[in-house]
Amino acid sequence: MPAPLLDREFLEKLERLTIHWQKSFAGLVGGHNMSRFAGAGQEFLDHRNFHHGDDLRAVNWRAYLRLEKLFLKMFQVEPRVPVRMLVDVSESMTAHGGQKFDYARKLAASLCYVGLVRLDTIEIHGFSGRLAQRIFATGGRHRFPGVMDSLAAMTASGKTDYNAVVRDFIGSYSQRGLVIVISDFLDDQGCERALQYLADFGHELMLLQVWSDEDRTPPWTGELELRDAETGAGLKLDFDDDARRRYTSAFDEYASAIQTMAFRSGGRYAGIATSQSLESVIFGDLIKARGIA
Amino acid sequence: MYLLNLSFFQFLAVFGSIGAVSVALYLLDRSRRKQVVSTLRFWVAAEQPAVAARRRHINQPWSLLLQLIGMGLLLLAIAQLRFGTPALAGRDHVIVLDTSSWMMARSGKGTLMDVAKARARQYLRALPARDRVMLVRADALATPATAFEPTHQKVDAAIVASQPGSTALNLNQALSFARHIQLQEGRRAGEIAFIGPGRTADSGESASAPPKNLRVIAVADNVENCGLRKIGMRRSATDPALWEIYVSAHNYGTAPRNVTMSLDFGTPQQAGRVPIGTQRLSLQPGGDSEASFQYRTTAAGVLGVNLTPHDVFPADDHAEMELPGQPALAVTVYSNEPELLRPVLAATPRVTAVFRRPAEYRANDQGLVILDRFVPPQRPAADSIWIDPPAQGSPIPIRTSVENVPFAGWNPEHPASAGLRTKDFKLEKVSVFEAAPSDGRVGEVAAGPVIVAREGKPKIVVLGFHPALSAMRYELATPLLFANLLRWVSPEIFQRWEITGGSVGTVKVALDRETPQKDIQVTGEDGAPLPFTMRDRTVQFFSGTPGSVRVVAGNREYMYAMTIPELWDSKWVPPPDVRQGIPHFAAVLDSSIDVWPWLAVAGGLCLLAEWVLYGSFRRALRPLLLRHKSRTAAEVRR
C-alpha cells in the first residue's frame, strides 16, 4: 500500500485556511466569499425599481404605502463558486526523478483539503495534451481520502498543449470560477496566450509554477547531450558557468512573464521550487500571494 | 638503462594495459553527459554552440597526459628503473661455509675451519663490490649468519666469527636452503659457493642434483682419524651395584690402526680418578671395534673414556659421562615380632631395614616407617605402612572387623597391586577401612577395602591384617606386595637407569615396553623440554649442542650424554661440470643508483596535480556550490 500523500498532522494544520478569490461570481448561496451580485442572501444590499416579473416577496411594502411606488429590496449573496484545479501531468513534470510531479500532487491535495473543509466544490483535472483524469470532490472533509487516493493513482504522460487544454476547459465548463493551475508551464508553443484566454473568459487564475533546482540551475558542466522529456528532441552543447548564468536568466524571465500575465488578469501567481517544504509554501508563499487566507 | 624487476616487454605490456584502461576510463568520464530535461527552450537561450565536431579529439588532453605520465612513473618505480646495463647490476651470492664438527680437525698449523674461513674471505674479496652476499653456516642445520648484505665487511666479520659445530654436515639441506633463499629474494641470482671438505653425514644417494650456479671451493683434509662412537652403561640386572660398560670406536682413516682404550672413574677433576680398565683395539679402515668393561660402585661420579694415541681430530678421542649413585631406602620397622617382616624386607634390594621395639619409637625417622600392630603417640613425619593397626588410632578409620571372610581380590588399577595373584584364601580376622574416594584400594574383601594406600605427603598405607599371620603367608604375593608398596612409596629409589654416550645430532631411543606419549619426557641439560617424535616404541629427538639429555619413560630413565662430536659418514664428490676454485670476476665500478623513490614521488605528484586541476576534486564540489547559489537567488526573487 503506497504511503499517503499528506499526513494527518499536516492536514490538521490546513483546517484553519480558506481558499480565496477576488472576483465576484454568480452562483448559489452557500459560499464563503462575498459577491457584488445581489441575490437571495440575508444581508440587505440596496433597493431598485420593481420590474415586471420580479419576485413580489422582495417588494418593500412599507415604501409602497408611503410613496405609492414599488421598490424591490436587494440582498448580498455569498455564492458557491466552483474551484477547479488543473494539475500538469505531462512528461516534463517527471524529469529529474519526478520531483515536480510528486510536489504538484501534494500541493493539489493540500488545496483540495482546504476547500473541502470550507465545503467548497473542488474539481481536479490532470492535463497534458488535453483535459483528463477528472476528480470531483464536494461535501466536506470526509470525502478527502478518496481524492487523495485518486491523486496518488495519477500517472504522468503526454506532451503539454495549453491551447487544447484551455479550449477543452472552456467547452466543458460554462460557469466561471476559480481556476488553480499547478504546472511547470513548459510548453514549447507558449502558455501565456492560452492562459490569457482563460482569464478573459471570466475565470480567476491562480498560477502555481513548480520547478526543480535542475530546471532553474542545471548543475552539470561540460559537454551535454540533452533530450526533451516531452518532445524527445535532442541538443548537444557545451555548458559552462557563463552558459548557466544565461540559462537561469532566461528561466527567470519566462517565470516573470507568467507572473505578469497572472497579475494583469487579476489572478495570483506563486513560483515554487521543489526543494521548499510544502508547509512553507502553503503557509508562506500562498498566503503572501493572497491565494489562501 | 634497464629495469630490475621487469623485462622491457613486460613493462610495455603492463604499461600498455594500464594506459588503455586509463584512456578508456578517461573517455568514459569526460564523455558527453546524457541528460533528460524538462524543456530545451532555456538551453537554446544559453546560446552555447554545439560541439559535435570535437568528439573525435580528446577533451582536456593535459589531464590525460598527466595521468599517463604519473602512472608510467609509478610503474617505472615498481619496476626499479636503473641506469647502466643489466650486466652492471649486482647479484646475490650465497656462501655456504662448512661448520660441521669435522672442521675442528687439524690441518697444518691450524684447523680445517681456519683454512675454510681463509678461502671464504678470498672468495668474498673476489666478488664485485655491488654484489650482495649471504653467509650460511652449514652443519646438520643450515643457519643463515647474515642477510644478503651489500656491505661485504659485515659478511667478512661473520666468516671470521664462524666456529665449528658439533654435528655432521647435511650438504643437501644446506644447498637447498641456499637455492630457496636466492629464489625468494627475487633479484638476479649469483653463485652458491660451498666451502669445505664435503664430508657429509648422508651417503648422498638420496641427494637432489646440485644447483647449476654452484661453485665448490674445496678444502683438503687428512682423514686419518680414530674416534669414539658410542658408549653404553647400565646397572647389571643381577647385581645393582655393578655397572656394565660398552664402548665402540671407529676408524675413519684409510690405514689400519691400533689404539688403546682406557676408562677411569672418580671426581670431575682428572686428579682423583681411579682406573677402571684398559684394552687394546685393532681397527681396520672404515671399521668399528667394541670393548666391554665392568665396574662395581654405588657412588655417583664421572666416567672418563680415552682413546690413545691422539690423531688429527682429538675431539672424539675422549668422552666423559656422569654416572648417578645408587641410593638405598631406609626402612625403620617398629614391631614386637621383627622376625615376621625380616624375610620380606631382605628379599627387596636397595632397602636398608632397621628393626626396633615400639618402646623405642621416634617420630622423626627418615625414609619409610613400618608400624606393626602398633599405634605411636605421635604419627611419623615420613611415609609409613601400618600393619593391622588397632581401631583406636588408625590413620584411616576402621569401619568394621570381620572374621573368616574370603579375600575378594586385588585392584588391578593400583600400581601397588601390579602383578599380584593369589589363590582363594580366607582371612581369620581382618579390619575393613573407611576409605576416602581419593584413596587407592589395593586389596578388598566383600565388606570393603582391607589394604588402602593414601597419596599425599607423607604417603600412608594401611593393612587390615598381618600378611605373615594370615593364610597369605604361604603366597608368593606377600613379598611382591611389600616390593610393590616400597616401589609405590619411593619410586625414585627403584628407577632403572640406562646411560648412553654418543654424538650430538639425532637420537633414537627404543623403549623396552609400550609407554603412552604423555608419560614420556625429554629434557635437556638445563631442564627445558626438547621436542621429540614417537613412532611405535621409538622416541626420536635432536640435539645440536653437546650436553646430556634425559628421557623419562614410565619408571625407566635414559640418560644421553652427547659429548662426542657427530662425524661424517661419506665424502661428497661434486659433479664434474660444477665450477671450482676462487673465481676472477671483472672489476666493474658500482654505478647503480636507486632512483625508484624519486620516480614514485614524481608519479604521485603528477596524479595529485591532475586531480586538483581536472579531477573529481572540482567536479565533486560544483553541485554543492551551485545548489547553494540557486537557493540564495530564489530567496532574493521571492
> Do A262 and A183 meet the contact criterion of CB atoms below 8 Å apart?
no
Task: Read off the pLDDT of each residue in B601-606 and give the average, rounded to a whole number.
Answer: 91
Least confident interval from A265-274, B130-139, B556-565: B556-565
- The pLDDT, as a whole number, for residue B634 is 52
| Residue B366 confidence (pLDDT) above 60 | yes
DSSP SS3 for B185: helix
* A289 φ/ψ angles, rounded to the nearest 5 degrees: -80, 5
How far does CA B443 lie from the centroid of its chain? Answer: 45
> Do B386 and B461 meet the contact criterion of CB atoms below 8 Å apart?
yes
| Residue B6 confidence (pLDDT) above 80 | no
Q: Which residues of A touch B614 (CB under 8 A)?
A: none
Higher pLDDT, A43 or A283: A283
Cell numbers standing for residue A148: 487523495
Overall pTM surpassing 0.80 (yes/no) = no
Amino acid at position B25, single letter: L
Task: Read off the pLDDT of each residue in A132-159 and give the average, rounded to a whole number.
Answer: 87
- Beta carbons of B59 and A223 less than 8 Å apart: yes
- Beta carbons of A236 and B52 less than 8 Å apart: yes
Q: Which residues of A touch B48 (CB under 8 A)?
A: 237-240, 243
Task: For an interface test with A, give the residue of B38, B54, B55 to mutate (most A CBs within 10 A).
Answer: B38
As a whole-number percent, the residues of chain B with pLDDT over 90 amount to: 12
- Beta carbons of B43 and A213 less than 8 Å apart: no
Interface of A with B in 223-252 (CB under 8 A): 223-231, 233, 235-240, 243-244, 246-248, 250-252
| Residue A103 confidence (pLDDT) above 70 | yes
Higher pLDDT, B45 or A231: A231
Task: Read off the pLDDT of each residue in A110-134 and give the average, rounded to a whole number.
Answer: 88
Pairing of strands B368-372, B383-387: parallel
Least confident interval from A46-60, B37-51, B162-176, B536-550: B37-51
As a whole-number percent, the residues of chain B with pLDDT over 70 amount to: 89
Question: Domains, chain B, ranges and CATH?
Answer: 2-86+597-637 (no CATH), 90-223+570-580 (3.40.50.410), 227-325+495-564 (2.60.40.10), 329-487 (3.40.50.880)
Higher pLDDT, B7 or B115: B115
- The pLDDT, as a whole number, for residue A221 is 80
Provide long-range contacts, Cβ within 8 A and 24+ apart, for B380-384: B380/B458, B381/B458, B382/B458, B383/B458, B383/B459, B383/B460, B383/B489, B383/B490, B384/B458, B384/B459, B384/B460, B384/B461
Q: Which residue of B has its CA nearest to A281?
A: B638
* Residue of B459, B400, B482 lying closest to B433 (CA atoms): B400
By Cβ distance, the residue of A95, A222, A250 closest to B37 is A95
* Residue of A72, A25, A70 lying closest to A179 (CA atoms): A25
Widest Cα–Cα separation across chain A = 88
| Residue B137 confidence (pLDDT) above 90 | yes
| Residue B159 confidence (pLDDT) above 90 | yes
Q: Which residues of A touch B622 (CB under 8 A)?
A: 219, 221
Amino acid at position B560, single letter: Y
Can you tell me the distance from the alpha carbon of B295 to that of B310, in angstroms, rounded to the nearest whole number?
Answer: 25
| Residue B158 confidence (pLDDT) above 90 | yes
- The pLDDT, as a whole number, for residue A7 is 84
Can you tell me the distance from the alpha carbon of A4 to that of A169, in angstroms, rounded to the nearest whole number?
Answer: 29
Confidence of residue A36 (pLDDT cuts 50, 70, 90): low
Higher pLDDT, B81 or B134: B134
Higher pLDDT, B313 or B556: B313
Higher pLDDT, A112 or B57: A112
By Cβ distance, the residue of A92, A216, A223 closest to B630 is A216
As a whole-number percent, the residues of chain A with pLDDT over 70 amount to: 90
Task: Read off the pLDDT of each residue in B98-104 and give the average, rounded to a whole number.
Answer: 90
Nearest chain B Cα distance for residue A167, angstroms: 23
Chain B residues touching chain A at CB-CB below 8 Å: 30-52, 54-55, 59, 619, 622-623, 626-627, 629-631, 633-634, 637-638
Pairing of strands A178-183, A83-88: parallel
* Per-residue pLDDT reduced to its tens digit, B61-72: 788 888 889 998
As a whole-number percent, the residues of chain A with pLDDT over 90 amount to: 22
| Residue B441 confidence (pLDDT) above 70 | yes
Chain B contact present for A217, CB below 8 A: yes
Cell numbers standing for residue B52: 559535435
Can you tell me the distance from the alpha carbon of B348 to that of B359, in angstroms, rounded to the nearest whole number?
Answer: 26
HSE, side-chain direction, 13 A CA sphere, residue A136: 1
- The pLDDT, as a whole number, for residue A220 is 83
Mean of all residue pLDDT scores within chain B: 82
Sheet-wide strand order for B214-218: B142-144, B132-138, B92-98, B189-196, B214-218, B579-580
* Three-state DSSP string of chain A: CCCCCCCHHHHHHHCCCCECCCCCCCCCECCCCCCCCEECCCEEEEEEECCCCCCHHHECHHHHHHHCCCEEEEEECCECCCEEEEEECCHHHHHHHHHHHHHHHHHHHHHHHHHHHCCCCEEEEEECCCEEEEEEECCCHHHHHHHHHHHHCCCCCCCCCHHHHHHHHHHHCCCCCEEEEEECCCCCCCCHHHHHHHHHCCCEEEEEEEECHHHHCCCCCEEEEEEECCCCCEEEEEECHHHHHHHHHHHHHHHHHHHHHHHHCCCEEEEEECCCCHHHHHHHHHHHCCCEC
Chain B contact present for A159, CB below 8 A: no
How many other C-beta atoms can be found within 10 angstroms of the C-beta atom of residue B291?
17
Residue tagged 569401619 (cell numbers): B399
Task: Read off the pLDDT of each residue in B164-172 and give the average, rounded to a whole number.
Answer: 88
- The pLDDT, as a whole number, for residue B586 is 54
Chain B contact present for A219, CB below 8 A: yes
- Beta carbons of B38 and A227 less than 8 Å apart: no
> Is there a cis peptide before residue B458, judged by omega within 30 degrees of 0?
yes
Cell numbers standing for residue A272: 515554487
Burial B152-189 (b: 16+ CB within 10 A, else e): beebbebbeebebbbbbbbbbbbbbbbbebbeeeebeb
By Cβ distance, the residue of B50, B59, B623 closest to A237 is B50
Interface confidence, given as ipTM, is: 0.78
- Beta carbons of B33 and A224 less than 8 Å apart: yes
- Beta carbons of A217 and B42 less than 8 Å apart: no
| Residue B203 confidence (pLDDT) above 80 | no
- The pLDDT, as a whole number, for residue B632 is 56
Interface of A with B in 172-211 (CB under 8 A): 184, 186, 188
- Beta carbons of B43 and A254 less than 8 Å apart: no
Nearest chain B Cα distance for residue A111, angstroms: 21
- The pLDDT, as a whole number, for residue B515 is 77
Confidence of residue B446 (pLDDT cuts 50, 70, 90): confident
- The pLDDT, as a whole number, for residue B113 is 92
- Beta carbons of A254 and B47 less than 8 Å apart: no
Q: Which residues of B touch A273 (CB under 8 A)?
A: 634
Q: Which residues of B touch A254 (CB under 8 A)?
A: 41-42
| Residue A262 confidence (pLDDT) above 50 | yes
| Residue B635 confidence (pLDDT) above 70 | no
Can you tell me the distance from the alpha carbon of B443 to that of B462, in angstroms, rounded to the nearest whole number?
Answer: 11
- The pLDDT, as a whole number, for residue A42 is 67
Question: Domains, chain A, ranges and CATH?
Answer: 8-24+80-288 (3.40.50.410), 38-76 (no CATH)
- The pLDDT, as a whole number, for residue B588 is 47
Nearest chain A Cα distance for residue B45, angstroms: 6
| Residue B328 confidence (pLDDT) above 90 | no
Size of interface A-B (CB pairs under 8 A): 130
Task: Read off the pLDDT of each residue in B445-474 and give the average, rounded to a whole number.
Answer: 86
Task: Read off the pLDDT of each residue in A116-121 and give the average, rounded to a whole number.
Answer: 84
Task: Read off the pLDDT of each residue in B320-341 and give the average, rounded to a whole number.
Answer: 84
- The pLDDT, as a whole number, for residue B52 is 46
Burial A238-269 (b: 16+ CB within 10 A, else e): bbeeebbebbbebbbebbeebbebbeebebbb
Nearest chain B Cα distance for residue A213, angstroms: 7
| Residue B293 confidence (pLDDT) above 70 | yes
Confidence of residue B298 (pLDDT cuts 50, 70, 90): confident
Handedness of CA B237, B242, B243, B245 (dihedral sign): negative
